[in-house]
Amino acid sequence: MSSDKVVVITDAEFDSSVLQSEKPVILDFWAEWCQPCKVLAPTVEEIAGEYENIIKVGKLNVDDNPTTATKYGIRGIPTLLFFKGGKVIQQVTGVKSKAEIKKIIDENLV
């Protein structure tokens, strides 16, 4: 379900992989049982491929990594958090189109 361009993020490596990343980061909060997450996954992978040298794209399974999900108040999934300089600059919940996600990236991250 994940491509080689999408990084799997865990609670243990969240700080080093996301907050201390030199590149902006999009983090997809998801779960195996979540059907909308499965719908969004190919879009996230496409974005990762298109922006691979510009941003880091990661996925965090909320069932396996509840600490980070709780810290950021993730109540519904899928949720995408957009980080720049270690800070959340945008959050979207639910299935969004590739165009909607690219607009957020282009306006806020690049």
The pLDDT assigned to 110 comes to: 78
Lowest-confidence region among 28-37, 70-79, 101-110: 101-110
The pLDDT assigned to 2 comes to: 43
Catalytic residue among 6, 37, 44, 69: 37
> Please, what is the Cα angle at 14 between 45 and 32, to 5 degrees?
50
Torsion sign, CA atoms 78, 82, 87, 90? negative
Report the distance separating Cα 56 and Cα 105, nearest Å.
11
| CATH numbers and ranges of domains, the chain | 6-108 (3.40.30.10)
Pairing of strands 56-61, 79-84: unpaired
The pLDDT assigned to 3 comes to: 53
**pLDDT mean across residues, the chain:** 94
Segment 90-110 mean pLDDT = 94
Catalytic residue among 27, 34, 40, 55: 34
pTM of the predicted structure, to 2 decimals: 0.94
- Reported as a single tens digit per residue, the pLDDT across 42-91 is 999 999 999 989 999 999 999 999 999 999 999 999 999 999 999 999 99
Active site residue 12: no
Active site residue 59: no
